[in-house]
Every structure is written in C-alpha cells, then in structure tokens.
A and B are shown apart, each in its own frame.
Chain A
Amino acid sequence: MVATTLEAAQHAASLVTAAYDAEQPTTDMADMADAPAGEPQTYARGDADQALDSAAVRMEMTYRLARNQHNALEPHATIARWDGDKLTVWDKTQWVFGTQMELATVFGMAPESVRVISPFVGGGFGSALRTWPHVVIAALAARETKRPVKLALTRRQLYFGTGFRPAYQYAVRLGSDRRGRLTAMVHDVRAETSRYETFMESVLVPGQMLYSMPNVRQAYRTVPLDVNTPLYMRGPGYTTASYVIESAMDELAHHLGIDPIELRLRNEPDADESSGLPFSTRKLRECYAVGAREFGWHRRNPQPRSTRDGDWLIGTGMAAGVYDTARNDAQASVRLDADGTALVQSAAGDMGPGTYTSQTQLAADALGLTMRNVTFRLGDSLMPPAPPHGGSWTMASVGSAVRDGCDKLRQQAIELAVADEKSPLHGADPADVVVSAGRLHVNGDPARGETCQQLLTRNERPTSNAPAGRECTLGVGDFDEVEGIHGGPASFPVDGLLDRAHDLHVAAAAADVAAHPLADLLGGAGVPFLDAADAGHDLPRRAEPALEGVLLDERPLQRMQFTVLATWGEPLDGGDLGALQAPCQRQAGVDPPPVDQDGAGPAGTGVAALLGAGQAELFAQQVQQRGPVVDRGGAPLAVHGQRDATAGGATAVPPTSIVVAMNVWRVGAGAGPSGGGSYDSGSSVDMPTLFVRFGGRSVD
C-alpha cells in the first residue's frame, strides 16, 4: 500500500485480506533430524576416524545453537526517488555498491543510473549486507507513483524481512591422550537455511587452525527449512565454531582434571596447520598469561557451583576466539583546497565503529592538517569504491586508501611549493619538507615555510563554475564522477557533495589496496540481541507468507542477491555468477571505471599548465599507472585470480592472517552474556514522501 501519509498506508494495508493455502511448516532443525541435507562442504587432514578409534580419551558432544535475529535499534528503511530514468535511493546499507548493483539488475539499468546514499547505517551487525525486498519495493513504488517513496520496516517485519544468524546443530567428537594432547577432532555441522537459497558461512575455519592436531575431518551441511534465508551476524561462523570448540575443550579439561588454560597451552599450534603457513598474529600464550593474572585465574576454585556471592553463583571461565585480518580493495579521493581544508571521500560505511572519526584522524595525520580542517565523507555510490562495511576490514582497507591518497597529496603540495619561486620553500629538497598543523616547512627550520593556504591561494586560477570565483585545489582520486564524466552527464543532484570540486581534477588511482579474497564478514563476537529464540519459530511462521509472494514475483531480485553475496566470497548456489563480473571488478577496484582515463587526460594538461614541470611529470606518471588497468576494459573476472577462485565456488580461506583474541570473563549465575550495543544515528531527507507498508491479514 502506498499513500500520502503513513497512517493512510497502514490503514489501507489493514483492509487487505490475503488468503493462503496453509501447510504445516517446519521451522526447527530438531524436527528434521533425518531430513536430506545439501551436499556438504568438507575438509580433512590425516585420518580422524582411525585416530579416534585408537585414542586413549574419546568424547562426543552435540551443541545446539539458537537462531539470533537481527533487530538493531535502527530498523531498515529506504527512500527512493526517480529523476527521469535515474534512481536515487537513501538506504540503510553496509554497502552502497551492493544495493546499487542489485537495483540496477532488477530494473535493467546501468549501475551508473542508480545512486545509493547511506551516510549513517545505524546498527548493522551484518543485517545491512544484503539488499532486501523492501528496497526494491520502495523503488518500484516510486517509479509507479512518480513520487519519492519512503518505506520503513516495522520491528516485526525485521524478523522476516531481513536475515539472521542460523541455528546450528554442531556435533564434535574429539580424541586425545591422557595428558590432553589432541589427536583428532571430527566436526559434523548442520545449519538451517531457507528452502529457496543455500546460505553458508565460514564455520569450518576455527576447527582447522585453532588447535594443533594431526587429524581433522569436517562436514558442513545445510538443512532447508520453511524460514527466510539467514545472513551474516557478528563474526559469522567463527563465533559459532569457537563456542562449540571451546565448550568441548572445557569438557575435556574437566574430564581429565587439567586446568583449562593448561590444556589449551598443550595444544597450541606453532603454525596454521591447515596451510602450514605461519600466523600473521597469534599472541594467545601472552593473552592467557595476562588474562590469568588479571582475573586471578589461579585463585579460582574449579569445582562447579563452588563460589557464591549471596544468592549469586560466581564462575570464572575462559575461551579463545579467532578471526582473520581480512583486507579488501578500496579507493579514496582526497582534495586540498585553497582555504587550507581537505575533503576526503570513500564510499565506505559507518555502522558505529567510528569510520568518520578514524578516517578523519588518519587523513589529518597524513596531510599534516588539524582534524578540524579535514572533512571525511562516506556512504555514496558516487564516491570512490569501498568494500562492504563488514568483515572488520574497513579500517585496514579504506584506511590504507585514505592514508595512501593523503600521502600522495601531501607530496604534491610539497612539490608545488619547492617549484614555486614565490614560496619560501623554493628550491628546497622535497624530502626535507614536512607539513604540520597546516604549515609546510623545512624539517629542522620551522621558520622557512608557509601555510597550505598561502601556497594554494598564490597558485589560484579562475574557475568556471565555482561561486567563489577563484580557487586552487590539489586532489587525488576520482572526483570526475560527480560531474558526470562517468557514464555521461549525470542528472543526480550533487547537493553538498564535492561542492567545491569544479576546478581542477586530477584523476589517478590514488590508492588501490590489494587484498586477498574475502573469507567472511564481520568481526567481533558480541550477540546484539539475546532472543528467546524459540519464539522466533512462531513469528516467521505466520509472517512469512506475506513475504513469499514478493520473493516469487521478484526473481531478478533473488538472482541478484545470489550474485551479490557470491562476490563476498561466500559460495551460495553458484549460479548466475557471470552477471556479477563487471560490478565485482568495479567493487574490487581491479578495474576502476575506464572513463576515469577521459578525466585524467584534460586534468593532467591543466595541471601541467598550472604547476611546474616536475609536477606535471608526477601526474603523468600516475595517469600512466592507470593505463594498463584501463586497457583491460571488459576483461573477464579471471584477471583477478583469487577472486576468480571465489566466484568458482571454492571456500576462500585466509591463508596466513589470523588474529587470536582471548576473553576471560566472570559471570553471575543466572546472568547470561549481555547484549551488545548499537549505534544511535539518523539521517533525514527533507522532501515530500509517500509511505509504503506491506503486509496485511492472512487467513489460513
């Protein structure tokens, strides 16, 4: 229902009666014990079964993990607006390019004709890593009504309108010697998925490298149920597996009467035994030592229920977690203006980790400016590409791009100064010039220098369309996009975005950060909501039919969802991968949009006229660097070998980069782990809008 007020839309929706032929649904894996499951993902080293048979100590445990629903403080919401054949969408998304690609595919448009804006995500936790049906519905409604349309999911709709961490049934068998040295572990993992999609995540990784043992066998199957498709949530897969493995280790420690930390130390690997490669970071022994000291580990009474504080039982336990230090391709643009301020942009997200702040700090540090004079903007598909805001890689990826771009820009400013006869720095060795608090000066001779403002003001030139009239700007990155060079003149309103970028454009691949394929998304190990998870079975049961019609009718949408997910390194159904190649390349930064070259030429000329000879060479060099990339043009995905492997359906496992963290905690009996926080933010768009509400009354 679409109406001019929310109340009218809600009322109209309440008048709709939808009739369904009801069948008995299955929403609990426990009811599907013997159900045929999908083809398993497997892993093996050594002969785990034989090793188990001959193990001195054998233990067998099954852990059932409840579903965790996504329901952040800030629900999913979308505003869609069409300007002719261009679509602009304000959305809660952790990846503006994912939403852009999906909408472009659904509506049969070029991605450039879809602009997605998401300056604040609110609580993400992984739930905004996929484009949900309501986003398409909002765009469709806006197209049909020829008005901007706003659609906000209700709390209840979040349960079936977005994803969730799937329920697991994780059976583990372990064998060890009498001293607790592990010889084998067998993992039989079953996870729920929907009937219409297969969702899998990196639940197998910790079992392969958390502890040292010669024999491991793993099988990971999905069980299709009458539920909506799961999605990533906070340390997806890793959290689940760590919980199971660490619980099993505690059982073994208890069985053998060995201190839990001592047991783990006896099984601490020297290298990643799944690859033979060394860990990039693994300070687990140190974690144990410090944690044990800080928490008074050795004073604890290991006997269960032995320590009380009034009516509270006090327990002290420990567990290790593991997560890879993933990194992904990212680009950033950086511009230094004559007023001494810098603008840094990358289409990253901020769901609460403080991307705005951290990137501003990084940029200010690298540019030699105060934070007050640096503005960082994110969350717009017109900006240089950034990877999905998940996987704990935004800082490493976007941060590297920002850092690299700012370093280059600082260098440009220095080069400009030492070549400028009117600058006090004229003739200085660029290597001797530093920038600090917005001032360039010779290292060791602070008196010899000038401010960025002075340098750029002196090098002013007339501008054609900047209201200020005359400005000078230095920049690196893809400023051209907002002026419409990218895919022809854009009709997107660029309000507030790059409002001063109308004069000098230096297009260069400022900072392409190479990365290995993505293994998984989202770090951390909190649980946003501690649900009474069994209640979840009942709500989706009645809610789902409302959505099902939408899903069936939007086949292109579903297809695109597969492909978008697959670009993140998660093999879903594996079909339709061809469709994602171009967007994937774009996102990955493997091939920056070829049109950038068009921008680079004239801009380079302009720079040459403005700057000294050496400076022109610098830019020419950067443009040339871009050259081979552009030449690849429409090359297939295979140009990026690692990514190709991902697209082929292989499980991408980070080969060397592992971080291990330890948590030791103290809980009161009766108090579960408390919920994680959420980031309170909001963005509003002031425009006449229509409201959509979908749903209605179902009659069985």
Chain B
Amino acid sequence: MRGRYIAGGTTLVDLMRETVERPETLVDISALPLREVTVTERGGLRIGALVRMAEAAAHPKVRTLYPVVSQALELSASAQLRNMATIGGNIMQRTRCAYFRDVTAACNKREPGSGCAALEGFNRTHAIVGTSRQCVATHPSDVAVAFAALEARVHLLGPDGERGVAFADFLLKPGSTPNRDQSLRQGELITSVEIPAHPRPLKSGYLKVRDRQSYEFPLTSAAVALHVRGGVIHEAKVAAGGVGTVPWKLPAVERHLIGERSSQALWTQAAERAAHGARPLAHNRFKIELLKRTVERQLRIVGGTP
C-alpha cells in the first residue's frame, strides 16, 4: 500500500490499529505552516489544513462570520479529539460504518469487490441518499456538512502544483468505486479550506440529532445559512449530514426558500423537499422523517418565525 499523510492522527491511527489501513510509509505533515485562519480579499475565510478543530471553532472570525462552522465543529467528537484533529484530517476521515472497520466483514470500500455487509446487515445508521449497490456508508464529518452548505473550496498542492476543487467535487459518492473517498491525485495535499464570501448579514447554525448527546456521529444533521434582507430570504444555503454517502446539499430546499418571507409554513414546506430521492434500507427508514424534521427545526432556529 502507498503512503499516507499524518497530522493529528485521530482517524488514521485508529484505522491502523484495526488493520483497516496499513500504509507502508507515513509522512508527518504536522510541522508545515498551514495553521492560519485568514480573511480572503473578497471577505471569505481561509482555514489552514493543520488548524485544529478546536482552534477553528474558537477563532473569532469563524465564530462571527460562520457560526455554522463553529457549531458543527463543537458538536463533533470529544474535546480531546478536537484538540488533536485538524481541519484537513477532518474532511479526510473515513466512514464509521462498522463493517468498514471490522476487517472480517465484506466491505467494498475497504476491499473492492468483497461485497457490502451493510446492505443486508445492520444498517440503521447508514445512508439514504447518494448510495450505490456497492456502498451505503455515511460520511461522518459534521464540519464537512457546513462546508458543503457554504460551498467551500478545497485548496490542494501536488506534484503538478496548486489547484482548487469545489467542495461538492472533493468528496466522492461511492458509485462503483467506493474505495475512493476523495478526488485527490497521487501525492496531493490539502493546504486549506476556503469559505467564500456570502452576502451579509448571514445567519447560520448547525443542528445535530444523534443517539446520545455527546461524542456520537449524527443520525441526521442540518447546516443552514440564510441571508435575509427586508424580511425576504435572498440567499439560502442548506445541507444535511448523517443521511448521505457525502455531505448532502439540499438545492430543492434552498430554491423553495429564495424570495420568500419567513414563516412556519415556509419552513415546513421547504423541509418537505429535504428527503427527495431517498432510498432507505431495512433499518433506516426513520431517517426520512427525521431528516425533514431536522431541517425544518433548523430553518426555524436560524430564520425564526415572525
């Protein structure tokens, strides 16, 4: 197997212990100068790949400009993990599907062609959108849901130089190659995640629904950012977590909100569109209704009701 970059190590070391990942070479990148949070020329934010989750969450610019990012980070993992794990590592983390981590189980993501034990197995926590016959595992990151909602860009550095990738194109749906989680090229390294400028004021927030109140991955989650001017919603950015093989952008919900005035009826109608195209498995049908309610509540929390 090829090499792996290692920074905080909170995902990779676990996977190596379980023998899911067995890299021949580890390249420690933790000393690279990628720990800055900077405001871009256009007024967006650029978060260095090695900024710790805790640092990013507490950064005054992040907190004031994009509370949805701070909240998603602070609802993730544990304080100890947030102090170690980096932003780059966070979006690189691999699924928590139990079959992926159990090396005795069939898993196309871990071992292409071996099958998917989750399809017929215990799949209560698995994805209802973005799935394929090869893989139904969710992407576990919370902050990636916020990045997806805000249409972030991932900046990469590789043998062929720098390039930027839209967040929606960075994480890959499983399709027929579930072993590929990201659209990285050989040797490429994440240098930063850039959140573009959005019209202000931008109200935003993250809601996470899970089996226990702490240290748990989402069953469903919703990242919502709204720009309201004169009582009218001019911009809406909405994405859901815990339901997709990648963070799930909800354009149908966004379209329904644009140009409308806040009301409970609007939130309900918009959220009705959250689960379009969902394909539930044997144990996760509940996620369809739960997702709608999660989105509805978070729209109400961020947008309020007059």
Contacts and interface: CB of A to CB of B under 8 A. Distances in A.
Contacts of B211: 532
Contacts of B105: 542
A537 B297 CA distance: 34
A535 B19 contact: no
Given A697-B104, A698-B104, A535 B213 contact: no
A538 B98 contact: yes
Given A530-B212, A671-B213, A542 B102 contact: yes
A672 B98 CA distance: 23
Interface in A676-699: 697-698
Nearest to A700: B104
Interface in B99-127: 102-105, 121-122, 124
A598 interface: no
Contacts of A445: none
A14 interface: yes
Contacts of A535: 98, 122, 124
A530 B213 CA distance: 12
Contacts of A10: 19
A311 B297 CA distance: 9
A534 interface: yes
A672 B210 CA distance: 12
**Interface size class of chain B, counting residues whose CB lies under 8 Å from the partner chain:** 10 to 19
B122 A534 contact: yes
A106 B90 CA distance: 49
Contacts of A156: 102
Given A14-B19, A311-B297, A671-B213, A538 B103 contact: no
Contacts of A534: 122, 124
Interface string A533-576: 01101110010000000000000000000000000000000000
Interface in A115-135: none
Of the candidates B19, B102, B104, B297, the one having the most CB atoms from chain A within 10 angstroms of its own CB is B104
Given A532-B124, A671-B213, A542 B104 contact: yes
A538 B121 contact: yes
Interface string B16-39: 000100000000000000000000
A17 to B, nearest CB: 11
Nearest to B103: A697
Contacts of A698: 104
Contacts of A538: 98, 121-122
Nearest to B211: A532
A675 B211 CA distance: 12
Contacts of A537: 122
A682 B98 CA distance: 29
Interface in B196-224: 211-213
Contacts of B122: 534-535, 537-538
Nearest to B300: A311
Interface in A611-640: none
Contacts of A530: 212
A468 B118 CA distance: 68
A10 B98 CA distance: 20
Contacts of A671: 213
Interface in A648-693: 671-672, 675
Contacts of B121: 538
A698 B102 CA distance: 11
Contacts of B297: 311
A156 B17 CA distance: 12
A672 to B, nearest CB: 8
Nearest to B283: A534
Contacts of A532: 124, 211
A538 B99 CA distance: 10
Nearest to B125: A532
A538 B121 CA distance: 8
B110 to A, nearest CB: 13
B92 to A, nearest CB: 24
Nearest to B297: A311
A672 B214 CA distance: 13
B164 to A, nearest CB: 39
Interface in A92-138: none
A675 B214 CA distance: 11
Contacts of A672: 212
Nearest to B19: A14
B208 to A, nearest CB: 12
A532 B123 CA distance: 12
A675 B122 CA distance: 23
A438 to B, nearest CB: 44
Contacts of A14: 19
Contacts of B124: 532, 534-535
B83 to A, nearest CB: 19
Contacts of A311: 297
A534 B124 CA distance: 10
A535 B103 CA distance: 17
A669 to B, nearest CB: 13
A101 B202 CA distance: 69
A538 B104 CA distance: 12
Nearest to A536: B122
Contacts of A539: 98, 102
Interface string B274-285: 000000000000
Interface string A257-291: 00000000000000000000000000000000000
B199 to A, nearest CB: 29
A10 B124 CA distance: 31
Interface of B: 19, 98, 102-105, 121-122, 124, 211-213, 297
18 contacts: A14-B19, A530-B212, A532-B124, A532-B211, A534-B122, A534-B124, A535-B122, A535-B124, A538-B98, A538-B121, A539-B98, A542-B102, A542-B104, A671-B213, A672-B212, A697-B103, A697-B104, A698-B104
Given A534-B122, A535-B98, A539-B102, 16 more contacts: A530-B212, A532-B124, A534-B124, A535-B122, A535-B124, A537-B122, A538-B121, A538-B122, A539-B98, A542-B102, A542-B104, A671-B213, A675-B212, A697-B103, A697-B104, A698-B104
